A and B are shown apart, each in its own frame.
Chain A
Amino acid sequence: MTDESSSHPNTLVDHWVAPGDVVLDLTNMANQTLKLGGGLRQECDAIIVTKAGRFKFSKPNKYWVESSQKRYVPCVEDTVLGIVVDSKADNFLVDIKGPTLGFLPVLAFEGGTRRNVPKFEIGTVLYLRVVKANTGMNPELSCTDATGKASEFGPIKDGYMFESSTGLARLLLSRPTCPVLDALGKKLSFEIAVGLNGRVWVNASSPSTVILVANAIMSAEFLSGAQQRILVEKLLQRVQ
Protein backbone atom coordinates (compact mmCIF):
# COMPACT_ATOMS: atom_id res chain seq x y z
CA MET A 1 0.00 0.00 0.00
CA THR A 2 2.92 2.34 -0.52
CA ASP A 3 1.89 4.27 -3.64
CA GLU A 4 4.12 7.10 -4.63
CA SER A 5 3.52 10.82 -4.68
CA SER A 6 0.17 10.65 -6.49
CA SER A 7 -1.58 9.35 -3.42
CA HIS A 8 0.08 11.68 -0.91
CA PRO A 9 -2.12 14.72 -0.38
CA ASN A 10 -0.27 17.94 0.30
CA THR A 11 -2.29 18.60 3.34
CA LEU A 12 -4.79 16.60 5.32
CA VAL A 13 -6.66 19.61 6.74
CA ASP A 14 -10.44 18.98 6.73
CA HIS A 15 -9.88 15.34 5.79
CA TRP A 16 -11.03 12.47 7.90
CA VAL A 17 -7.99 10.86 9.54
CA ALA A 18 -7.47 7.59 11.39
CA PRO A 19 -5.04 6.74 14.20
CA GLY A 20 -1.52 6.35 12.87
CA ASP A 21 -1.78 8.94 10.08
CA VAL A 22 1.07 11.42 9.85
CA VAL A 23 -0.42 14.86 9.36
CA LEU A 24 2.48 17.26 9.74
CA ASP A 25 6.15 17.01 9.02
CA LEU A 26 8.17 19.21 11.29
CA THR A 27 11.40 19.16 9.31
CA ASN A 28 10.05 21.95 7.08
CA MET A 29 8.70 24.02 9.92
CA ALA A 30 11.76 24.70 11.98
CA ASN A 31 11.04 28.11 13.44
CA GLN A 32 7.33 28.06 14.01
CA THR A 33 5.41 27.51 17.20
CA LEU A 34 2.52 25.12 16.75
CA LYS A 35 -0.36 24.58 19.14
CA LEU A 36 -1.66 21.02 19.08
CA GLY A 37 -5.11 20.26 20.35
CA GLY A 38 -6.79 16.97 21.11
CA GLY A 39 -6.14 13.82 19.15
CA LEU A 40 -2.58 14.65 18.07
CA ARG A 41 0.76 13.51 19.36
CA GLN A 42 4.33 14.39 18.51
CA GLU A 43 6.80 11.62 17.72
CA CYS A 44 10.26 12.90 16.80
CA ASP A 45 9.69 14.99 13.68
CA ALA A 46 6.19 14.02 12.78
CA ILE A 47 2.77 14.76 14.20
CA ILE A 48 0.70 11.59 14.37
CA VAL A 49 -3.05 11.19 14.86
CA THR A 50 -4.27 9.21 17.86
CA LYS A 51 -8.05 9.70 17.58
CA ALA A 52 -10.15 9.26 14.47
CA GLY A 53 -11.94 12.38 13.27
CA ARG A 54 -11.65 15.43 11.06
CA PHE A 55 -8.32 17.24 11.04
CA LYS A 56 -8.87 20.95 11.59
CA PHE A 57 -6.68 24.01 11.35
CA SER A 58 -7.26 27.50 12.65
CA LYS A 59 -4.98 30.43 11.92
CA PRO A 60 -2.33 31.17 12.88
CA ASN A 61 -1.02 27.92 14.27
CA LYS A 62 -3.65 25.71 15.90
CA TYR A 63 -4.22 22.12 14.79
CA TRP A 64 -6.61 19.59 16.28
CA VAL A 65 -8.72 16.53 15.48
CA GLU A 66 -12.44 17.04 15.85
CA SER A 67 -14.51 14.03 16.76
CA SER A 68 -17.61 13.30 18.73
CA GLN A 69 -17.67 10.85 21.57
CA LYS A 70 -20.03 9.87 24.33
CA ARG A 71 -17.38 10.29 26.99
CA TYR A 72 -15.62 13.53 27.87
CA VAL A 73 -11.94 14.34 28.34
CA PRO A 74 -11.64 17.29 30.74
CA CYS A 75 -9.97 20.41 29.32
CA VAL A 76 -9.16 23.69 31.04
CA GLU A 77 -11.71 26.50 30.68
CA ASP A 78 -14.53 24.18 29.55
CA THR A 79 -17.97 24.78 31.00
CA VAL A 80 -19.60 21.54 32.07
CA LEU A 81 -22.69 20.23 33.82
CA GLY A 82 -21.79 18.04 36.77
CA ILE A 83 -23.71 15.94 39.28
CA VAL A 84 -22.65 15.94 42.93
CA VAL A 85 -21.67 12.47 44.06
CA ASP A 86 -20.19 13.06 47.48
CA SER A 87 -19.03 15.86 49.75
CA LYS A 88 -15.82 15.86 51.72
CA ALA A 89 -14.34 18.35 54.15
CA ASP A 90 -12.44 20.34 51.55
CA ASN A 91 -14.27 19.71 48.32
CA PHE A 92 -17.28 18.17 46.64
CA LEU A 93 -16.84 15.16 44.37
CA VAL A 94 -18.61 15.83 41.10
CA ASP A 95 -19.22 13.48 38.20
CA ILE A 96 -18.46 15.16 34.87
CA LYS A 97 -18.51 12.10 32.60
CA GLY A 98 -14.74 11.92 32.47
CA PRO A 99 -12.31 9.16 33.43
CA THR A 100 -12.17 10.41 37.04
CA LEU A 101 -14.40 12.43 39.34
CA GLY A 102 -13.83 16.17 39.53
CA PHE A 103 -13.08 18.04 42.74
CA LEU A 104 -15.02 21.22 43.46
CA PRO A 105 -13.34 23.08 46.32
CA VAL A 106 -15.73 24.19 49.02
CA LEU A 107 -14.49 27.78 48.75
CA ALA A 108 -14.75 28.10 44.96
CA PHE A 109 -17.89 30.23 45.06
CA GLU A 110 -18.39 33.96 44.90
CA GLY A 111 -17.86 35.32 48.40
CA GLY A 112 -17.16 31.84 49.70
CA THR A 113 -15.63 31.56 53.15
CA ARG A 114 -15.44 28.79 55.71
CA ARG A 115 -18.51 30.22 57.40
CA ASN A 116 -20.93 30.04 54.48
CA VAL A 117 -20.04 26.73 52.86
CA PRO A 118 -22.92 25.69 50.58
CA LYS A 119 -24.59 22.37 51.22
CA PHE A 120 -25.36 20.31 48.11
CA GLU A 121 -27.30 17.09 48.30
CA ILE A 122 -26.12 14.08 46.34
CA GLY A 123 -27.60 14.38 42.89
CA THR A 124 -27.56 18.17 42.62
CA VAL A 125 -26.84 19.44 39.11
CA LEU A 126 -24.18 22.14 38.89
CA TYR A 127 -22.97 24.35 36.05
CA LEU A 128 -19.20 24.50 36.47
CA ARG A 129 -15.95 25.62 34.91
CA VAL A 130 -12.91 23.35 34.67
CA VAL A 131 -9.90 25.05 36.26
CA LYS A 132 -7.23 22.36 36.13
CA ALA A 133 -7.21 19.26 33.98
CA ASN A 134 -3.98 17.29 34.08
CA THR A 135 -3.71 13.68 33.05
CA GLY A 136 -3.50 11.36 35.99
CA MET A 137 -5.03 13.82 38.42
CA ASN A 138 -8.65 14.51 39.22
CA PRO A 139 -9.78 17.67 37.42
CA GLU A 140 -10.41 20.73 39.57
CA LEU A 141 -13.63 22.65 39.06
CA SER A 142 -15.00 25.99 40.12
CA CYS A 143 -18.32 27.79 40.41
CA THR A 144 -16.86 31.20 39.55
CA ASP A 145 -15.44 32.63 36.38
CA ALA A 146 -11.80 33.65 36.09
CA THR A 147 -12.37 36.99 37.82
CA GLY A 148 -14.14 35.48 40.81
CA LYS A 149 -17.73 36.42 39.99
CA ALA A 150 -20.52 33.86 40.05
CA SER A 151 -21.82 34.69 36.51
CA GLU A 152 -24.43 31.93 36.07
CA PHE A 153 -22.30 29.13 37.52
CA GLY A 154 -23.65 27.12 40.43
CA PRO A 155 -26.57 24.82 41.17
CA ILE A 156 -29.41 24.41 38.68
CA LYS A 157 -32.94 23.74 39.82
CA ASP A 158 -35.93 22.12 38.13
CA GLY A 159 -35.86 21.33 34.45
CA TYR A 160 -34.71 18.15 32.76
CA MET A 161 -31.15 17.07 32.03
CA PHE A 162 -30.22 14.56 29.35
CA GLU A 163 -26.98 13.22 27.96
CA SER A 164 -25.67 13.75 24.47
CA SER A 165 -22.41 13.31 22.63
CA THR A 166 -19.68 15.92 22.87
CA GLY A 167 -20.11 16.75 19.19
CA LEU A 168 -23.75 17.67 19.69
CA ALA A 169 -22.85 19.85 22.69
CA ARG A 170 -20.31 21.76 20.58
CA LEU A 171 -22.87 22.12 17.80
CA LEU A 172 -25.40 23.64 20.20
CA LEU A 173 -22.84 26.16 21.44
CA SER A 174 -21.50 27.20 18.06
CA ARG A 175 -21.87 30.63 16.44
CA PRO A 176 -23.98 31.39 14.45
CA THR A 177 -26.80 29.82 16.45
CA CYS A 178 -27.48 26.20 15.69
CA PRO A 179 -30.53 25.94 13.35
CA VAL A 180 -32.55 23.71 15.66
CA LEU A 181 -32.22 26.12 18.59
CA ASP A 182 -32.97 29.04 16.30
CA ALA A 183 -36.16 27.44 15.00
CA LEU A 184 -37.31 26.34 18.46
CA GLY A 185 -36.56 29.75 19.95
CA LYS A 186 -38.81 31.52 17.47
CA LYS A 187 -41.91 29.67 18.59
CA LEU A 188 -41.31 28.49 22.15
CA SER A 189 -39.79 30.00 25.23
CA PHE A 190 -37.43 27.81 27.22
CA GLU A 191 -34.15 27.91 29.11
CA ILE A 192 -31.21 25.77 28.14
CA ALA A 193 -27.77 25.04 29.60
CA VAL A 194 -25.23 23.05 27.60
CA GLY A 195 -22.22 21.35 29.16
CA LEU A 196 -19.30 20.56 26.87
CA ASN A 197 -19.08 17.19 28.57
CA GLY A 198 -22.18 16.00 26.73
CA ARG A 199 -24.96 17.03 29.10
CA VAL A 200 -27.84 19.36 28.21
CA TRP A 201 -30.37 20.85 30.65
CA VAL A 202 -33.71 22.25 29.48
CA ASN A 203 -36.39 24.05 31.44
CA ALA A 204 -39.71 25.51 30.31
CA SER A 205 -43.07 26.43 31.82
CA SER A 206 -44.82 23.23 30.77
CA PRO A 207 -43.51 19.63 30.66
CA SER A 208 -44.68 19.14 27.07
CA THR A 209 -42.46 21.99 25.91
CA VAL A 210 -39.50 20.49 27.76
CA ILE A 211 -40.07 17.12 26.11
CA LEU A 212 -40.46 18.68 22.69
CA VAL A 213 -37.25 20.68 22.99
CA ALA A 214 -35.30 17.71 24.34
CA ASN A 215 -36.49 15.40 21.57
CA ALA A 216 -35.78 17.98 18.88
CA ILE A 217 -32.23 18.47 20.10
CA MET A 218 -31.52 14.76 20.41
CA SER A 219 -32.79 14.04 16.91
CA ALA A 220 -30.97 16.95 15.30
CA GLU A 221 -27.45 15.72 15.73
CA PHE A 222 -26.90 14.18 12.32
CA LEU A 223 -29.15 16.44 10.28
CA SER A 224 -28.14 19.37 8.11
CA GLY A 225 -29.43 22.89 8.84
CA ALA A 226 -32.42 22.70 6.51
CA GLN A 227 -33.41 19.27 7.79
CA GLN A 228 -33.27 20.54 11.35
CA ARG A 229 -35.72 23.33 10.57
CA ILE A 230 -38.11 20.88 8.88
CA LEU A 231 -37.90 18.59 11.92
CA VAL A 232 -38.80 21.44 14.26
CA GLU A 233 -41.72 22.52 12.07
CA LYS A 234 -43.15 19.02 12.04
CA LEU A 235 -42.84 18.66 15.81
CA LEU A 236 -44.52 22.00 16.41
CA GLN A 237 -47.37 21.14 14.04
CA ARG A 238 -48.06 17.99 15.96
CA VAL A 239 -48.34 19.89 19.22
CA GLN A 240 -50.61 22.63 17.90
Chain B
Amino acid sequence: MASYFRRKKITFWPCGFRISGDTIVLAAVYGPKAGSKKNESPEKASIEVLWKPKSGQIGKAEREYEMILTRTLQSIFLSTIHPNTTTSVIIQVMHDDGALLPCAINAACAALVDAGIPLKSLAVAICCGITESGSIILDPTKQEEQEMPAFAYLVFPNSSLAVLPGTPPLIEGEPVEHGIITSVTHGAMSVDDYFDCLDRGRVASAKLSEFLRKNLAQSQIPNHSSKAS
Protein backbone atom coordinates (compact mmCIF):
# COMPACT_ATOMS: atom_id res chain seq x y z
CA MET B 1 0.00 0.00 0.00
CA ALA B 2 1.58 3.24 -1.03
CA SER B 3 2.29 5.63 1.79
CA TYR B 4 0.67 9.04 1.51
CA PHE B 5 3.33 10.93 3.39
CA ARG B 6 6.19 11.75 1.13
CA ARG B 7 9.21 12.85 3.06
CA LYS B 8 11.26 15.71 1.76
CA LYS B 9 14.90 16.39 2.25
CA ILE B 10 15.96 17.20 5.77
CA THR B 11 18.28 20.17 5.95
CA PHE B 12 20.76 21.14 8.59
CA TRP B 13 21.16 24.84 9.14
CA PRO B 14 23.96 25.66 11.55
CA CYS B 15 23.36 29.16 12.77
CA GLY B 16 25.82 31.90 13.49
CA PHE B 17 28.65 33.39 11.53
CA ARG B 18 30.88 33.21 14.56
CA ILE B 19 32.86 30.08 15.28
CA SER B 20 31.24 29.78 18.68
CA GLY B 21 27.71 29.80 17.27
CA ASP B 22 26.37 26.28 17.32
CA THR B 23 22.61 26.37 17.43
CA ILE B 24 21.47 23.47 15.28
CA VAL B 25 17.94 22.94 14.00
CA LEU B 26 16.57 20.21 11.73
CA ALA B 27 13.69 21.08 9.40
CA ALA B 28 11.59 18.60 7.45
CA VAL B 29 8.85 19.44 4.95
CA TYR B 30 6.02 17.02 4.15
CA GLY B 31 3.48 17.65 1.44
CA PRO B 32 1.44 19.10 -0.10
CA LYS B 33 -0.91 16.49 1.34
CA ALA B 34 -4.51 16.26 0.23
CA GLY B 35 -7.08 17.89 2.49
CA SER B 36 -6.94 21.08 4.49
CA LYS B 37 -7.32 21.56 8.22
CA LYS B 38 -10.68 22.17 9.84
CA ASN B 39 -10.57 25.94 10.27
CA GLU B 40 -8.77 26.68 7.04
CA SER B 41 -10.50 27.67 3.85
CA PRO B 42 -10.37 24.88 1.26
CA GLU B 43 -9.77 27.43 -1.47
CA LYS B 44 -6.13 27.86 -0.61
CA ALA B 45 -3.24 25.75 0.56
CA SER B 46 -2.53 25.82 4.27
CA ILE B 47 0.76 25.44 6.07
CA GLU B 48 1.22 23.94 9.51
CA VAL B 49 4.30 23.93 11.70
CA LEU B 50 5.23 21.42 14.40
CA TRP B 51 7.94 22.48 16.79
CA LYS B 52 9.74 19.75 18.70
CA PRO B 53 11.98 20.93 21.55
CA LYS B 54 15.19 19.14 22.41
CA SER B 55 13.77 17.85 25.66
CA GLY B 56 10.78 18.36 27.87
CA GLN B 57 7.10 18.56 27.10
CA ILE B 58 5.50 20.80 24.54
CA GLY B 59 4.33 23.95 26.26
CA LYS B 60 3.37 27.54 25.59
CA ALA B 61 6.78 28.61 24.34
CA GLU B 62 6.67 25.94 21.64
CA ARG B 63 3.17 27.00 20.62
CA GLU B 64 4.36 30.58 20.33
CA TYR B 65 7.28 29.56 18.12
CA GLU B 66 4.90 27.54 15.96
CA MET B 67 2.58 30.50 15.54
CA ILE B 68 5.39 32.91 14.64
CA LEU B 69 6.85 30.45 12.17
CA THR B 70 3.44 29.76 10.59
CA ARG B 71 2.75 33.44 10.06
CA THR B 72 6.23 34.06 8.65
CA LEU B 73 6.06 31.15 6.24
CA GLN B 74 2.53 32.07 5.18
CA SER B 75 3.79 35.40 3.91
CA ILE B 76 6.28 33.79 1.52
CA PHE B 77 4.13 30.81 0.62
CA LEU B 78 2.05 30.88 -2.57
CA SER B 79 -1.22 29.53 -1.30
CA THR B 80 -3.22 29.70 -4.51
CA ILE B 81 -1.30 27.06 -6.46
CA HIS B 82 -2.48 23.88 -4.72
CA PRO B 83 -5.85 24.55 -3.13
CA ASN B 84 -7.20 22.19 -0.51
CA THR B 85 -3.80 20.83 0.53
CA THR B 86 -1.70 21.07 3.66
CA THR B 87 2.07 21.43 3.80
CA SER B 88 3.62 20.44 7.14
CA VAL B 89 6.93 21.78 8.38
CA ILE B 90 8.46 19.94 11.32
CA ILE B 91 11.22 21.65 13.30
CA GLN B 92 13.41 19.61 15.63
CA VAL B 93 15.76 21.52 17.92
CA MET B 94 19.08 19.72 18.18
CA HIS B 95 21.04 22.28 20.15
CA ASP B 96 20.09 25.71 21.42
CA ASP B 97 22.88 28.24 21.78
CA GLY B 98 21.00 31.48 21.24
CA ALA B 99 19.10 32.90 18.24
CA LEU B 100 16.95 29.78 18.03
CA LEU B 101 13.99 31.21 16.17
CA PRO B 102 16.00 32.82 13.33
CA CYS B 103 17.89 29.57 12.91
CA ALA B 104 14.62 27.67 12.66
CA ILE B 105 13.21 30.13 10.11
CA ASN B 106 16.31 29.80 7.93
CA ALA B 107 16.17 26.01 8.15
CA ALA B 108 12.45 25.89 7.32
CA CYS B 109 12.96 28.17 4.33
CA ALA B 110 15.84 26.06 2.99
CA ALA B 111 13.75 22.90 3.45
CA LEU B 112 10.81 24.43 1.55
CA VAL B 113 13.11 25.38 -1.34
CA ASP B 114 14.61 21.92 -1.41
CA ALA B 115 11.17 20.33 -1.52
CA GLY B 116 10.15 22.47 -4.47
CA ILE B 117 7.20 24.15 -2.79
CA PRO B 118 6.39 27.33 -4.78
CA LEU B 119 7.42 30.46 -2.88
CA LYS B 120 7.23 34.21 -3.49
CA SER B 121 10.75 34.80 -2.19
CA LEU B 122 13.07 33.39 0.44
CA ALA B 123 12.98 34.49 4.07
CA VAL B 124 16.25 35.31 5.79
CA ALA B 125 16.28 35.68 9.57
CA ILE B 126 18.75 37.35 11.89
CA CYS B 127 18.95 38.16 15.58
CA CYS B 128 20.17 41.58 16.75
CA GLY B 129 20.77 42.35 20.37
CA ILE B 130 21.66 45.48 22.33
CA THR B 131 24.17 45.00 25.11
CA GLU B 132 24.20 46.98 28.34
CA SER B 133 26.92 49.24 27.01
CA GLY B 134 24.71 50.22 24.06
CA SER B 135 26.51 48.37 21.26
CA ILE B 136 24.62 46.13 18.86
CA ILE B 137 25.71 42.55 18.26
CA LEU B 138 24.35 40.02 15.79
CA ASP B 139 23.71 36.35 16.51
CA PRO B 140 24.29 36.35 20.25
CA THR B 141 24.95 33.12 22.11
CA LYS B 142 22.48 31.90 24.70
CA GLN B 143 24.44 33.39 27.56
CA GLU B 144 24.72 36.76 25.84
CA GLU B 145 21.01 36.67 25.09
CA GLN B 146 20.17 36.17 28.72
CA GLU B 147 22.39 39.02 29.82
CA MET B 148 21.24 41.53 27.24
CA PRO B 149 18.56 44.03 28.16
CA ALA B 150 16.89 43.70 24.77
CA PHE B 151 17.12 41.83 21.49
CA ALA B 152 15.06 41.46 18.32
CA TYR B 153 14.56 38.67 15.79
CA LEU B 154 14.14 40.13 12.31
CA VAL B 155 13.12 38.39 9.09
CA PHE B 156 13.65 39.96 5.67
CA PRO B 157 12.88 38.71 2.16
CA ASN B 158 15.97 37.72 0.21
CA SER B 159 17.69 39.93 -2.32
CA SER B 160 16.68 38.79 -5.76
CA LEU B 161 18.51 38.81 -9.07
CA ALA B 162 16.85 40.79 -11.81
CA VAL B 163 17.38 40.84 -15.53
CA LEU B 164 17.09 44.57 -15.92
CA PRO B 165 17.84 47.30 -13.43
CA GLY B 166 14.69 48.74 -12.00
CA THR B 167 12.82 45.47 -11.78
CA PRO B 168 11.30 44.48 -9.38
CA PRO B 169 9.99 48.00 -8.94
CA LEU B 170 11.00 49.94 -5.89
CA ILE B 171 8.23 50.23 -3.37
CA GLU B 172 8.08 53.81 -2.04
CA GLY B 173 11.66 54.40 -3.02
CA GLU B 174 13.15 51.38 -1.29
CA PRO B 175 14.05 48.04 -2.77
CA VAL B 176 11.81 45.08 -1.96
CA GLU B 177 14.40 43.37 0.20
CA HIS B 178 14.31 46.17 2.72
CA GLY B 179 10.78 45.23 3.63
CA ILE B 180 10.44 43.32 6.83
CA ILE B 181 8.46 40.12 7.16
CA THR B 182 8.61 39.47 10.89
CA SER B 183 9.95 41.25 13.94
CA VAL B 184 9.90 39.74 17.44
CA THR B 185 11.36 41.82 20.22
CA HIS B 186 12.24 40.98 23.81
CA GLY B 187 13.04 43.47 26.51
CA ALA B 188 12.99 47.24 26.31
CA MET B 189 15.00 49.34 23.85
CA SER B 190 14.69 52.87 22.54
CA VAL B 191 13.19 53.60 19.15
CA ASP B 192 16.57 54.77 17.77
CA ASP B 193 18.16 51.54 18.92
CA TYR B 194 15.46 49.56 17.17
CA PHE B 195 16.07 51.36 13.89
CA ASP B 196 19.81 50.76 14.29
CA CYS B 197 19.08 47.08 14.74
CA LEU B 198 16.99 47.13 11.57
CA ASP B 199 19.82 48.67 9.54
CA ARG B 200 22.40 46.20 10.82
CA GLY B 201 19.94 43.39 10.27
CA ARG B 202 19.40 44.37 6.64
CA VAL B 203 23.10 44.33 5.87
CA ALA B 204 23.54 40.98 7.57
CA SER B 205 20.54 39.50 5.81
CA ALA B 206 21.94 40.54 2.44
CA LYS B 207 25.08 38.54 3.22
CA LEU B 208 23.04 35.61 4.52
CA SER B 209 20.96 35.56 1.37
CA GLU B 210 24.13 35.39 -0.81
CA PHE B 211 25.32 32.47 1.28
CA LEU B 212 21.94 30.74 0.99
CA ARG B 213 21.86 31.19 -2.78
CA LYS B 214 25.39 29.82 -3.23
CA ASN B 215 24.75 26.77 -1.08
CA LEU B 216 21.39 25.91 -2.59
CA ALA B 217 22.88 26.19 -6.09
CA GLN B 218 25.66 23.80 -5.21
CA SER B 219 23.35 21.22 -3.72
CA GLN B 220 21.34 20.81 -6.91
CA ILE B 221 22.27 18.24 -9.58
CA PRO B 222 24.97 19.20 -12.08
CA ASN B 223 23.80 20.66 -15.34
CA HIS B 224 23.24 17.67 -17.60
CA SER B 225 22.94 19.28 -20.99
CA SER B 226 20.69 16.80 -22.75
CA LYS B 227 17.80 17.45 -25.05
CA ALA B 228 14.41 16.72 -23.61
CA SER B 229 12.94 13.75 -25.43
Contacts and interface: CB of A to CB of B under 8 A. Distances in A.
B118 A101 contact: no
B120 A50 contact: yes
A67 B220 CA distance: 8
5 contacts: A8-B161, A25-B163, A95-B2, A99-B33, A171-B226
Interface of A: 1-2, 4-5, 8-12, 14-25, 39, 41, 46, 48, 50-54, 58, 67-71, 73, 83, 85, 95, 97, 99-101, 122-123, 135-136, 167, 170-171, 173-176, 178, 221-222, 224
Contact of A100 (B34, B121, B157, B162): B34
B227 A174 contact: yes
A22 B85 contact: no
Given A69-B115, A123-B1, A19 B121 contact: yes
A4 B1 CA distance: 56
Interface residues of B, number: 56
B116 A71 contact: yes
Interface of B: 1-2, 4, 6-9, 31-34, 76, 78, 81-85, 113-122, 157-165, 167-168, 175, 177, 206, 209, 212-213, 216-217, 220-224, 226-229
B220 A24 contact: no
Among A10, A16, A17, chain B packs the most CB atoms within 10 A around the CB of A16
Contacts of A19: 76, 113, 118-122
Contact of B217 (A16, A50, A171): A16
Interface of B is mostly: loop
A71 B114 CA distance: 11
A49 B43 CA distance: 23
A4 B165 CA distance: 7
Contact of A175 (B33, B78, B229): B229
Contact of B220 (A53, A100, A136): A53
A20 B119 CA distance: 8
A70 B168 contact: no
B163 A8 contact: yes
A228 B85 CA distance: 38
A68 B229 contact: no
A1 B177 CA distance: 8
Nearest to B210: A1
A20 B217 contact: no
A164 to B, nearest CB: 12
Contacts of B119: 19-20, 50-51
Given A99-B82, A99-B85, A8 B206 contact: no
A174 B81 CA distance: 28
With most chain B CB atoms within 10 A of its CB, the pick from A8, A24, A171 is A8
A237 to B, nearest CB: 26
B221 to A, nearest CB: 5
Given A15-B161, A122-B1, A171-B221, 18 more contacts: A1-B177, A1-B209, A16-B213, A18-B113, A18-B122, A20-B121, A22-B168, A50-B78, A50-B118, A58-B228, A68-B220, A70-B115, A71-B115, A99-B82, A136-B82, A171-B224, A222-B221, A224-B222
